Structure 1
């Protein structure tokens, strides 16, 4: 079993509205720190345009670390419905080998869970949906791992259902969490809401830890651009939210998964301290 692993959890880069200062910083951190893996949990692009995917491919291929990529809702072509229905991941061609790639280490594996569908019976298609096929694929990969292997699941949308039937964040998210709780899952990584979080979600089969990363773009958010540095020492997973403004992990994290991404802070406005719920593994700053 691996004694120590470092994972960089990046999300919502949104090429087309990317923050180049943040991207250069993260690339330099990867080169300097040499994490064991980089997990990118979706929304690489703004509009799924070819030029945005080309920029994403150039940046991702330049990273000096093993990478796994989850698609996000912004990465499916909304404005060209035939592509969305018939080949929703077609524009990932330049780095298709990294999309939903399982990464395995001694005693630990990163396993993908696609939370996107081509169409939904609700107006807001940006929200998540765990299809039976996607969940079965994820669970079968987990069940095929060597006995005792701990698992980190990578997804784009937080597996949280909230509000009314029509406004649920991720349809079938509760069922997916319950199935994951029955397995050796350490945490579910996601993005989508542009702010970091680290929460425990109760299910009938036990609690599941949900970890969200912020954004590396200029899109809406309530905290500065950042990413998560995860460390696994063989018994405990800790999260450090890295950012260019030197704000603590505690103050970078929201204490609930919001319905939508938060508006940006005004220039110079400090990040207010955010209350957190108690949990077993506090963040390390």
Structure 2
């Protein structure tokens, strides 16, 4: 029964030090099969922020795959943003957009960030044709009967959270992933957890979002998702840091078929005390 910790938006430079230590300790103690970090490692892509992020990620006692978020592209050095946008992540370069194969489960990355867009807000999501084609090729090369999870930074469509992604090309990408047999897309960006099923032209596909481990909280406190895969079903448990939250307050409405929850019933959070 593979078990995965899905974390996101650690935002070094505005990180929650205690929450990060809590997650690091949980990984060491519980030994998940892998950790998926879906972007926004830093606050402003500064060198010192990346050094801290790379040091923390390298210290995790599990295999890690890392997506790049919009906050991880250089903000102030436009030459570097366009010529060498990932130069500052070289400390963990081998982990960036890394495919992971677990027993019966594959994690495949999908790039949703862009160096520039034809709109003023470059922080919003974008799935270009080349990025989607690369992900679909990787999926096509996987063994048959393998459950596929795609990792991305931005939700491909809106998830009824306070934060918005407004991902260009997201609807098309989600439909293509559904046609390819992807079970779920894991993402971050909006700083609140969610778990829902999206209907596409090619059938339903699940979207699972992780919260933040930074001080930039929105509707929920720092948290991460614990995913377990059993009998072809992905079960999600939201693990929150520091306080109990009434279930209706969680930004989650889980409707996966055969899951423990009834359609529309929120996933109950699990609290942790520092």
Q: Offset at 1:187?
A: 0.5
Q: Which residue of 2 aligns with 1:157?
A: 154
RMSD: 1.8
The residue aligned with 1:91 is 88
Corresponding residue SS for 1:13? coil
Structure 1: gaps (5+ residues): 256-275
Asked if 1:192 is matched to 2:204, the reply is no
2:142 paired residue among 126, 141, 145:
145
Contact 1:161 1:171 in 2 (8 A): no
Q: What CA distance in whole angstroms lies between the structure 2 residues aligned with 1:17 and 1:113? A: 26
Matching residue within 161, 164, 176 for 1:179: 176
Report deviation, 1:150.
1.1
Task: Give the Cα–Cα distance (whole angstroms) in 1 for the partners of residues 244 and 91 of structure 2.
Answer: 35
The answer as to 2:106 corresponding to 1:103 is: no
Q: Deviations over 1:71-112 (max 9, x none)?
A: 000000021111111111111100000000000022210000
Asked if residue 123 in structure 1 is aligned to residue 124 in structure 2, the reply is no
Aligned twin of 2:264: none
Q: Any idea what SS the aligned residue of 1:185 has?
A: coil
Q: Is the 8 A contact 1:114 1:156 kept in 2?
A: yes
Question: TM-score when scaled to structure 1?
Answer: 0.86
Q: Could you say if the C-alpha distance between residues 142 and 18 of structure 1 is closer, same or farther in structure 2, counting changes exceeding 3 Å?
A: same
Q: 2:32 matched to which residue of 1? A: 35
1:53 match: secondary structure: helix
Distance 1:71 1:105, change over 3 A: same
Match for residue 56 of structure 1? 53
SS of corresponding position for 1:221? coil
Match of 2:133 among 125, 131, 136: 136
1:6 aligns with 2:3: yes
Q: Is the 8 A contact 2:195 2:206 kept in 1?
A: yes
Deviations 1:214-247 (A, max 9, x none): 0000014111100000000132111001012353
1:8 deviation in Å? 0.3
Q: Distance in 1 between matches of 2:120 and 2:6?
A: 30
Q: Would you say the 8 A contact 1:198–1:253 is kept in 2?
A: no
* 2:206/2:256 contact within 8 Å kept: no
Map 1:239-250; keep pairs closer than 5 Å: 239-247=236-244, 250=247
Q: Against the structure 1 CA distance between its residues 215 and 249, is the aligned structure 2 distance closer, same or farther, given a 3 Å change threshold?
A: farther
Note if contact 1:31-1:64 (Cα within 8 Å) is conserved in structure 2: yes
**Counterpart of 2:5 in 1: which secondary structure?**
strand
Identify if the C-alpha distance between structure 1 residues 153 and 278 changes in structure 2 by more than 3 Å, giving closer, same or farther: closer
Q: TM-score, normalised by structure 2?
A: 0.90
Aligned to 1:223: 220
Query: 5+ unaligned residues in a row in structure 2: which ranges?
Result: 262-266
Determine the C-alpha separation between the residues in 1 that align with 2:165 and 2:118.
12
2:195 and 2:254 in contact (8 A); partners too: no
2-structure distance, mates of 1:172, 1:219: 27
Instruction: Flag the 1:125–1:249 CA change in 2: closer, same or farther, 3 A.
Output: farther
